[in-house]
Chain A
């Protein structure tokens, strides 16, 4: 089984709809991240969480919100989706307690906003 899972894998929605992307991990890592990937722009950090009570904005947090329901679960919400939020979204985890920045990525969610 995959260590970092994301649901759904693909989602098509309409402008103005609220949607939630979910991430679960079985790695036991403390830190979790949400990124979006756009052609030519690489990976950009949306939000990150060091633990359940510690959530921080990343580079491009406007239009997004997150919830860390448990150490293993981190969800990303688009309150009112817009077409320029069409992108590939990745969840990642890291085990900073081991003194490394290595991040482990999920398989991604392809989101299309019409």
Chain B
């Protein structure tokens, strides 16, 4: 079993839709949770960063962490064609933190005009 599981999609939605991207994990030591966005032929770029449980909002994006369920989500409101990309969740533990991130497989999102 992988430490982090992410539905690879692809996910196709119409412009303006609300998108929900999810990851589950098995390591209860994970404390830092990130979402990266990767456009085609580009490197991943950090989109959202959260610590421990709770929600964080940044414009049209909301990151949600539920540590009791070992489940994290990224919501995109009013999705735009420019949101079409692969979204990767990533996480790391606090204790013995070596700066190593564990990534999900990535979910490919297409937003159609």
Contact = CB atoms under 8 A, between A and B. Distances in A.
B62 interface: no
A102 B88 contact: no
A32 to B, nearest CB: 10
B105 A41 contact: yes
A101 B46 contact: no
Interface in A12-45: 31, 40-45
Contact of A42 (B6, B43, B98): B6
Contacts of A105: 36, 43-45
Given A40-B8, A42-B6, A101 B44 contact: no
Nearest to B106: A42
Interface residues of A, number: 25
Contacts of A45: 100-101
Give the bracket for the number of chain B residues in contact with chain A: 20 to 34
Contact of B34 (A40, A92, A102): A102
B103 A43 contact: yes
Contacts of A107: 42-43
Contacts of B49: 100, 102
Q: For the complex, would chain B's binding face be called helix, strand, loop or mixed by DSSP majority?
A: loop
A40 B105 contact: yes
B8 A101 contact: no
A43 B88 contact: yes
Interface in B24-81: 32, 34, 36, 41-46, 49
B92 interface: yes
B95 interface: no
A42 B105 contact: yes
Given A48-B99, A101-B92, A42 B104 contact: yes
Contacts of B101: 45, 101, 103
A100 B105 CA distance: 22
B97 interface: yes
Ranked 8 nearest A-B pairs via Cβ: A105-B43, A42-B105, A43-B103, A42-B103, A101-B92, A105-B44, A96-B99, A107-B43
